[in-house]
């Protein structure tokens, strides 16, 4: 799974690196959080198609999925784009998908994130539904608070194959296998410009902090990072066998 892809620099590094990574590791499934792929906010039809052509199989999202209005009609279409499962009923799109014998689930946290339904109860309901589910279940938990992410990992330990955190754009060092066989990381980190504030031009963000006033944010340029995790899952039991970081820098 590839961490939050930020703007054109993030898309470019995915296009540059992913084909070789798929071949080198023999990847069965590539998931990417794409909610910042279009100019740093949201996802468009063109940017979604670009990532699919690069080798991404499923695109997850979070609080910025609604930033580009043009993508909303496609959330109920054939494109493998997810919005968080725990948005209220009646919201466009879907919160999970089955792809290549794996279920991918998208959740969003509530702490510092706004008013959504409880992610813990939403995933409970999904996991206890009578529908057939493949053994491999991968959860992208798009959340701000590390405590909420860690709690979700522990809550789902042994019930899903992996709980992989996104949203903060800052990778954490806690890749691990939890006691009951679930792979976990608090945040994968971003795929985007290194010399930036979480992908955005530094001066734009600093002005916001200095003045407390709205200030337009632009995606930064220059050297780019590629942040991902590689999870190996037993296809019969759904238990994770390993989780390792894949981190690369591209000029």
- Mean pLDDT along residues 140-144: 98
Which entry of 24, 64, 169, 215 is annotated as an active-site residue? 64
pLDDT-above-70 percentage for the chain:
100
Q: Looking at residue 34, what is its pLDDT?
A: 98
Q: Find the helix or strand (DSSP H, E) in which 46 lies.
A: helix 45-54
Say what angle helices 45-54 and 7-25 make with each other, to 10 degrees. 20
Q: Looking at residue 165, what is its pLDDT?
A: 98
Domain parsing of the chain, residue ranges: 7-250
Q: Looking at residue 131, what is its pLDDT?
A: 84
> Which pLDDT band, with edges at 50, 70 and 90, does 99 fall under?
very high
Q: Looking at residue 224, what is its pLDDT?
A: 98
- Tell me whether residue 167 is one of the annotated catalytic residues: no
Facing residues of 103 across strands?
98, 137
- Mean pLDDT along residues 76-80: 96
Pairwise pLDDT comparison (120 vs 215), residue with the higher score: 120
Number of residues that this document lists for the chain: 251
Tell me which fold the domain 7-250 belongs to.
Purple Acid Phosphatase; chain A, domain 2 (3.60.21)
d(Cα 245, Cα 248) in Å, to the nearest integer? 10
pLDDT-above-90 percentage for the chain:
97
**17 token code pair:** 């690196």
Q: Looking at residue 58, what is its pLDDT?
A: 98
Q: 175 pLDDT exceeds 90?
A: yes
Q: 130 pLDDT exceeds 90?
A: no
Eight-state DSSP code of residue 81 = B
Residue 17: Cβ-neighbour burial (10 angstroms; 0-12, 13-18, 19+) = buried
């Amino acid at each position: 799974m590839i961490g939050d892809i930020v703007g054109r620099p993030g898309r470019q590094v995915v296009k540059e690196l992913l084909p070789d990574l798929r071949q080198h590791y023999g990847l069965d499934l590539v998931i990417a959080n794409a909610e910042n792929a279009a100019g740093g906010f949201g996802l468009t039809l063109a940017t979604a198609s670009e990532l699919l052509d690069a080798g991404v199989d499923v695109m997850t999202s979070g609080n910025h999925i609604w930033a580009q209005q043009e993508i909303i009609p496609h959330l109920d279409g054939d494109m493998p784009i997810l919005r968080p499962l725990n948005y209220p009923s009646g919201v466009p799109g879907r919160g999970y998908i089955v792809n290549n014998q794996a279920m991918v689930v998208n959740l969003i946290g509530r702490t510092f994130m706004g008013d959504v339904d409880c992610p813990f109860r939403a995933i409970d309901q999904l996991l206890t539904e009578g529908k057939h589910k493949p053994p491999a279940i991968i959860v992208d938990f798009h959340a701000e608070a590390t405590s909420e992410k860690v709690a979700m990992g522990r809550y789902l330990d042994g019930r899903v194959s992996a709980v992989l955190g996104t949203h903060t754009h800052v990778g954490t060092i806690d890749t691990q296998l939890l006691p009951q066989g679930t792979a976990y990381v608090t945040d994968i980190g971003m795929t985007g410009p290194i010399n930036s504030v979480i992908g955005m031009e530094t001066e734009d963000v600093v002005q916001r902090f200095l003045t407390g006033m709205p200030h337009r944010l632009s995606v930064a340029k220059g050297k780019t990072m590629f942040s991902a995790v590689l999870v190996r899952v037993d296809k019969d039991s759904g238990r994770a066998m390993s989780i390792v970081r894949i981190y690369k820098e591209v000029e």
